[in-house]
Amino acid sequence: CVKSVLTSADIPFNEGVKRPFTITAPYGSLLNPKPPAPVRARMEPAYRVFNAVMKALSQAAPEKVIAGGFDTTTVFALSHLSDTGYRVYVEIFGGGYGASVEQDGCDAIDSPLSNCSNTPVEALDMEYDYFRVVDYGLLADSAGPGRQRGGLGFTRAYEITAEDVTFAVYADRFRIAPSGLFGGDDGTLARCQVHRGTETLPINSKAGMSLQKGDVLTVYTGGGGGYGDPTERSRDAIDRDVTDGLLTPEAAARDYPAIAAE
């Protein structure tokens, strides 16, 4: 991200680009841990480094950085042992990008350090018989307000259709939301829960549990932070988001009160 922000796009990334930089990561720190420290979720601190670098560079090149985004590798897995064998479904979810000086953040897109695509629901229906997707869509009101708003997160719900299904997840952004820049508001938190009968069971960001037939497992990914003062957002942009169902009228009145009152 340093190269992208501080140099021209036509300069290729090579060894010479790295020579001016010195990285200090003391042995035993979070970024350079000692064995037997667990490192399976190593991308989570990597994303926080990305956020810290972007925030630092915002002081030198405010027009080239983005606000904090969902920026987490949400690894989501459902496994099932049946008479015919063991099957595992794994997907890596994205969320909302941070906004920039001229653009709203991208909605429900893979995180910056990942390279995974969206899996169509129809493909999941054909491939797996121990769950089905019952809801999938953008999460209204999840974007951080700003002159340019953050990207929206999304929600996806799975109904478990067999016994002996195990769920595992490691993610982030369940406690600290993506930060806005230059007066933009923070984005929104992620969360995960299981609906079982009349109960709703909250799930931690790093967790595993056994699921029962009939459970509905829902994941909500977070939205990105806004860029710039929300009072400077255009009325047309607010109206467009309301019309498209990305922003409810109630949230528009709350997040953009001066403009909504016009």
DSSP letter assigned to residue 23: -
Q: Which of 154, 57, 43, 49 lies closest to 100 in space, CA to CA?
A: 57
Q: Please check whether residue 222 is in contact with residue 182, taking contact to mean a CB–CB distance below 8 angstroms.
A: no
The residues near 8 (Cβ < 8 Å, ≥ 6 apart) are none
- Could you tell me if residue 8 is inside a domain? no
Write the DSSP string, 148-184.
Answer: BPPPP-EEEEEEE-SSSEEEEEE---SSSPPPPBTTP
Task: Give residue 260's pLDDT.
Answer: 59
Q: Any residues with CB less than 8 A from the CB of 253 and at least 6 apart, and which?
A: 260, 261
241 assigned to some structural domain? yes
What's the longest Cα–Cα distance across the chain?
Answer: 64
Cβ proximity of 69 and 84 under 8 Å = no
- pLDDT at res. 262: 61
**What residues of the chain score a pLDDT lower than 50?**
none
In whole angstroms, what is the distance from residue 2 CA to residue 256 CA? Answer: 33
Residues 6+ apart with CB under 8 A from 136: 121, 154, 155, 156, 157
Nearest to 47 by CA among 152, 170, 138, 157: 170
123 part of a folded domain: yes
pLDDT of residue 225: 98
pLDDT at 40: 81
Q: Is residue 64 part of a domain?
A: no
127-169 pLDDT, tens digit each: 999 999 999 999 999 999 999 999 999 999 999 999 999 999 9
Does 10 map to a domain?
Answer: no
CA distance linking residue 198 with residue 195, whole number of Å: 7
User: What is the per-residue pLDDT for 6?
Assistant: 76
25, part of any domain? no
Looking at residue 261, what is its pLDDT? 60
In our burial notation (b when 16+ CB lie closer than 10 A, e otherwise), range 199-219 reads: eeeebebbeeeebeeebbbbb
Q: What is the pLDDT of residue 239?
A: 94
The pLDDT value recorded for residue 122 is: 96
Domain hosting residue 119, numbered range: 69-260
- Our count of domains for the chain comes to 1
Determine the distance from the C-alpha atom of residue 129 to the mean position of all C-alpha atoms in its chain, rounded to a whole number. 27
Please indicate, yes or no, if residue 21 is contained in any of the structural domains. no
For residue 103, the model assigns a pLDDT of 97
**pLDDT at 34 (0 to 100):** 95
Q: What tokens does 54 get?
A: 């972007």
Judge whether 180 lies within some domain: yes
